Structure 1
């Protein structure tokens, strides 16, 4: 989910999303409720991943992103959803969670 900035509406960004198998979703214009979610994610990712420690190279930082995203979605408590991780909102049973989780 991104805001409606020109960089996110560019053909280059759209092609990158397609190449990665991502579905691009835009926030509703002039709706702080949805844009706030995107902004909060960006703020958290900068603080907890991008600038959380000194990386030797950009490639090293990039390699850390999948691990951080996994922790963010599967393990990190989110205050807005009762201190549970986002994956809990899918309503998976414990069996499904164990099978899907790696």
Structure 2
């Protein structure tokens, strides 16, 4: 798993869990978000397009709205790097 050096990724409990699953970890250099560009871009879009405009009253509401946003992001929302097409149809074309 490739991630930045945030405490949520470097916590001993997570590192032990990943090790038990035989999942290796690599960490990008501190202050180098371009080394993990896809994830950093997704996180920025999720924050700007979704999280900044929501106040969740319950965990269930957060889960439902997050799933809905991710589904829209992956199947409907146009992406500039794909010629302003959504990524899911692009992935289907690439695998055909």
Q: Structure 1 residue 59: deviation in Å?
A: 3.5
2:65 is equivalent to residue 64 of structure 1: yes
For 1:81 and 1:25, locate their aligned partners in 2 and report how far apart those are by CA, in whole Å: 29
CA contact (8 A) 1:2 1:26 kept: yes
Structure-2 change in CA distance of 1:52 and 1:25 (3 Å): farther
For 2:10 and 2:35, locate their aligned partners in 1 and report how far apart those are by CA, in whole Å: 17
For 1:28 and 1:58, locate their aligned partners in 2 and report how far apart those are by CA, in whole Å: 31
Structure-2 change in CA distance of 1:25 and 1:50 (3 Å): farther
Give the length in aligned residue pairs.
89
**Structure 1 stretches of 4+ moved >6 Å:** none
Structure with greater proportional strand content: 2
* 1:1-102 matched pairs, under 5 angstroms: 2-13=3-14, 15=17, 29=29, 32-92=33-93
Indicate the RMSD between aligned Cα atoms, in angstroms: 3.4
Normalised to the residue count of structure 2, the TM-score between the two structures is 0.61
